[in-house]
Amino acid sequence: MKKIIASIALVLVSLSVFAGKPKYVFYMIGDGMGTHQVLMTEMYLASMKGELGVSPLCFTQFPVASFATTYSSDSNVTDSAASGNALASGVKTTNGTLGLDPDGNPVTNLAEIAKAAGRKVAIVSTSKANDATPAAFFAHVPDRDWGYEISQDMIEHGYEFYGGSGLRNEARTHDKKPADPIRPQFEAAGYTICNPQEFRAGYRNMSKVLMLPGEGQAVTYSIDTVNDLPENRDKHVTYSDFVSSALTFLTQDSKKGFFMMAEAGEIDHACHSHDAATVIQEVIDFDEGVKIAYEFYLKHPKETLIIIAADHETGGLTIASKRSYHLARLRFQKHSMNVLSDMLKQRMITEKAILSWEEIRSFLRKELGLWDEINVSWEDEKMLRDIYEATIAKRDPGSAKDLYADNSKIVSAAVGVLNKSCRISWSNGSHSAGYVPVFAIGPGSELFGRMMDNAEIAKMIRKAAF
Ligand SMILES: [Zn+2]
C-alpha cells in the first residue's frame, strides 16, 4: 500500500513538473466579498428551494479553497487601494496608496509582469475603470483619488482591454486644475471606446479597447438589472459583459497567453448600504462571470488558472437565521436601495406632491413585502413612521428642491426591517478586518491551499504563472 501511495505521489510530482505554467490567468476579485457574503448568498439559494444549509455557487466548488487576511501596512482594516496593491503586486502599503510601497517606491504588479512576458492583458471592473482595485494593476500614485493621473497611467501601460462603469475625473487633475479631456487621449493612443453592443459588432477591427456604458446605459446593481423588463436588457452593462468581451478580445490571438483581472466592484457598495438582497444578487452576478472563465478552463484545463479572491469584507455581516424561510424573505425586495429611493422621488416629481404615510406604507408593502409577507412589529412601524414624519412629511410640495430630495433614510430603515426579519445583521458601515475567501482551480492552484495573507496571493500567482 505504501508503495502505491509513494508511486502516486511520484506521478503527481512529475505531473506538476511537466504540467508547465498556465498560459491563461483569470484573477477575479469580489470587492467587499467576505466569507459571510458568500455564505449568505449560498444560504439564500438553498432557502429559495426550501432547504437549510447552502446551495453552492460555481466558484465555491473549485478544488482549492482557503482564506486570507487583508490588513494594510498602516491599519488592521484595509481600504480597496491598499488591498488592491497587495493583491496586484504582493506588497502591503498604506490605505489610499496605489502602486507604491509604504516608503513611496514603485512596485511591480502582475499585469505589468504579464505584459512584459508578452501576454495580453485585460483589467475590468463594474466600478469605475480607474477606481482603486483596477488601478492597482497599472497606477503608481500616492492617492487613489488621483483619477486623471490614474487614467494617464492606463494609457501609458497600453493594455489590450480596459472596462468599467466610467472614468473618474476625466478632465480635472488631482489638484483640481482643468485638464485636457481624457477620452480623446485614449483614442489617440489607439483605443476604441465602445459599449458591449458596439464591441460585439466591430471588435475584429479594434486594436485596443476601453469598454464603458454608452448613452442611456449604466452598470446597475444586478438586482435592478434582473428585475427590469427584458426589452431594457441592453440598458444594463453587467460583470459578465465585461468578462465575456475581454475574453473574446484576448483570445483572438493568444499564443503567448493572457492575464485578466475582473473585479465585481459593487458588492462593496451594497454592503456599505447594508442592502443584503442587493449583495446577494451581486455575488450571484459575480458567479455568472466566473462561469465564463470556468467554461474556458474546461476547454483548456492544463493551461488555465482561475483565482477567486476579495479585497476585504465590508459591513461586518453576520447571519443568524435559523430557518430556511428567513433568508428567502429577501426575494420580496425587487430593487436596490438606490433605485427604491429614486422611485419615490420620481413619483413625487411626477405627481408634484409629497407622498402621505399611507402611500409610503403601500410602496414599502409592494416593494419589500413589509406587512403583507413580513411581520412588522409595532416598534418598527413607529420607527418608520417617525422617520417619515421627520423627513418626507416636513417637505413643501411647492418646492422643486423638496420634491427632488433624497429618500434614502426611510428606504434604508425599511430595508433594515426586512434584513432584521431575515436575522441578518451588520456591525458597521465600513470595511472590517474579516477574512476573505480564496478559491482556485487549474495548474498552480495547489499553491493556494493554505491560509494566506492577501499579499501572498499575488506572489503565488507570480510563482504559478510566470
Ligand atoms: Zn468599500
Ligand 1 centroid–CA 268 distance in Å is 5
Ligand 1 centroid–CA 449 distance in Å is 27
Cell 459593487 belongs to residue: 266
Protein fold of 23-320+434-465 = Alkaline Phosphatase, subunit A (3.40.720)
Ligand 1 centroid–CA 34 distance in Å is 12
Ligand 1 centroid–CA 431 distance in Å is 6
Ligand 1 centroid–CA 447 distance in Å is 28
Ligand 1 centroid–CA 336 distance in Å is 17
pLDDT value of residue 15: 43
Ligand 1 centroid–CA 141 distance in Å is 19
pLDDT value of residue 254: 80
Ligand 1 centroid–CA 237 distance in Å is 21
AA letter at 259: F
Ligand 1 centroid–CA 78 distance in Å is 9
Write down the domain spans for the chain. Answer: 23-320+434-465, 332-422
The whole-angstrom separation of Cα 206 and Cα 163 is 14
Ligand 1 centroid–CA 413 distance in Å is 20
The secondary structure of the chain, three-state, reads CHHHHHHHHHHHHHHHHHHCCCCEEEEEEECCCCHHHHHHHHHHHHHHCCCCCCCCCCHHHCCEEEEEECCCCCCCCCCHHHHHHHHHHCCCCCCCCECECCCCCECCCHHHHHHHCCCEEEEEECCCCCCHHHHCCCCCECCCCCHHHHHHHHHHHCCCEEECCCCCCCCECCCCCECCCHHHHHHHCCEEEECHHHHHHHHHHCCEEEECCCCCCECCCHHHHHCCCHHHHHHECCHHHHHHHHHHHHCCCCCCCEEEEEEECHHHHHHHCCCHHHHHHHHHHHHHHHHHHHHHHHHCCCCEEEEEEECCEECCEEECCCCHHHHHHHHHCCCCHHHHHHHHHHHHHHHCCCCCHHHHHHHHHHHHCECCCECCCHHHHHHHHHHHHHCHHHCCCCCHHHHCCCCHHHHHHHHHHHHHHCCEEECCCCEECCCEEEEEECCCHHHHCCCEEHHHHHHHHHHHHC
Ligand 1 centroid–CA 6 distance in Å is 48
User: 318-334 burial, b for 16+ CB within 10 Å, e for fewer?
Assistant: ebebeebebbbbbebbb
pLDDT value of residue 150: 96
Ligand 1 centroid–CA 270 distance in Å is 9
pLDDT value of residue 19: 54
Ligand 1 centroid–CA 153 distance in Å is 23
Ligand 1 centroid–CA 439 distance in Å is 21
Ligand 1 centroid–CA 32 distance in Å is 6
Give the strand pairing for 304-310 and 24-30.
parallel
Ligand 1 centroid–CA 281 distance in Å is 17
Ligand 1 centroid–CA 299 distance in Å is 35
Ligand 1 centroid–CA 466 distance in Å is 31
Ligand 1 centroid–CA 312 distance in Å is 8
- Angle of helix 239-250 relative to helix 276-299, nearest 10 degrees? 20
pTM above 0.85, yes or no: yes
Give the strand pairing for 258-264 and 24-30.
parallel
AA letter at 200: R
Ligand 1 centroid–CA 429 distance in Å is 9
User: 377-416 burial, b for 16+ CB within 10 Å, e for fewer?
Assistant: eeebeebbeebbeebbeebeeeeeeebebebbebbbbbbb
What does the pLDDT profile of the chain (466 residues) look like in tens digits?
A: 444 444 544 444 444 444 589 999 999 999 999 999 999 999 999 999 999 999 999 999 999 999 999 999 999 999 999 999 999 999 999 999 999 999 999 999 999 999 999 999 999 999 999 999 999 999 999 999 999 999 999 999 999 999 999 999 999 999 899 999 999 999 999 999 999 999 999 999 999 999 999 999 999 999 999 999 999 999 999 999 999 999 999 999 888 999 999 999 999 999 999 999 999 999 999 999 999 999 999 999 999 999 999 999 999 999 998 888 899 999 999 999 999 999 999 999 999 999 999 999 999 999 999 999 999 999 999 999 999 999 999 999 999 999 999 999 999 999 999 999 999 999 999 999 999 999 999 999 999 999 999 999 999 999 999 9
Ligand 1 centroid–CA 347 distance in Å is 30
Q: Which long-range contacts (CB under 8 A, 24 or more apart) does 143-148 make?
A: 143/96, 143/97, 143/98, 143/174, 144/79, 144/80, 144/81, 144/96, 144/97, 144/98, 145/96, 145/169, 145/174, 146/173, 146/174, 147/174, 148/172, 148/173, 148/174, 148/179, 148/182
Ligand 1 centroid–CA 314 distance in Å is 6
Ligand 1 centroid–CA 414 distance in Å is 22
